[in-house]
Amino acid sequence: MGALDGRRVLVAGGASGIGRATALRCAGEGAQIAVLDRNAWVGDRKPAAAPIADVRDTGAVDAGVAAAAAAMGGIDGVVYCPAIDFAATLRETVDADWERLLDINLTGAMRVCRAALRAFPPDGGTMVLIASAAGLRPLPLRSAYCAAKAGLVMFAKVLAQELAENNIRVNALCPGPVDTTMFRASYEGAADPQAELAMIRERYAMRRVADADEIARCVVFLTGRDSSFVTGAALAVDGGRTFH
In this structure, are residues 168 and 120 in contact, taking their beta carbons and an 8 Å threshold?
Answer: yes
User: Do 56 and 106 touch, CB atoms closer than 8 A?
Assistant: no
pLDDT at 110: 98
Confidence of residue 186 (pLDDT cuts 50, 70, 90): confident
> How does pLDDT run across 230-244, given as a tens digit for each residue?
999 999 999 998 764
Higher pLDDT, 43 or 35: 35
Q: What is the pLDDT of residue 142?
A: 95
Query: Contact 221/2 with Cβ under 8 angstroms?
Result: no
pLDDT in tens, 199-213: 889 988 999 999 999
Average pLDDT over residues 175-180: 94
Question: Which amino acid is located at 147 in the chain?
Answer: A
221-238 average pLDDT score: 97
Q: Can you state the percent helix, strand and coil of the chain, rounding each to 5?
A: 45, 15, 40
Task: Give the rounded percent of residues in the chain with a pLDDT score beyond 70.
Answer: 99
- 50-79 pLDDT tens trace: 999 999 999 999 999 999 999 999 999 999
Catalytic residues: 145
Provide the pLDDT for residue 54: 98
Cβ-proximal residues to 209 (8 Å cutoff; 6+ apart), any chain: 177, 178, 179, 183, 197, 200, 201
Is residue 118 over pLDDT 90? yes
- Output 153-159 pairs: Cβ under 8 A, ≥24 positions apart: 153/129, 153/234, 155/106, 155/109, 155/110, 155/129, 156/127, 156/129, 156/131, 156/232, 156/234, 157/232, 157/234, 159/113, 159/127
Q: 67 to each of 59, 93, 131, 180, 222, how far by Cα in Å?
A: 12, 37, 26, 28, 24
Assess contact for 10 and 34: CB atoms under 8 A: yes
Per residue in 70-114, pLDDT (tens digit) is 999 999 999 999 999 999 999 999 999 999 999 999 999 999 999
What pTM was estimated for this model as a whole?
0.95
- Give the pLDDT confidence score for residue 243 in this predicted structure: 62
- Nearest Cα neighbor of 9 from 29, 26, 21 is 26
Alpha helices (H) along 73-180: 95-102, 108-117, 143-163
The CATH class given to the 8-237 domain equals alpha beta
Q: Which residues contact 63 (CB under 8 A, 6 or more apart)?
A: 51, 53
Taking residues 158-176, what's their average pLDDT? 97
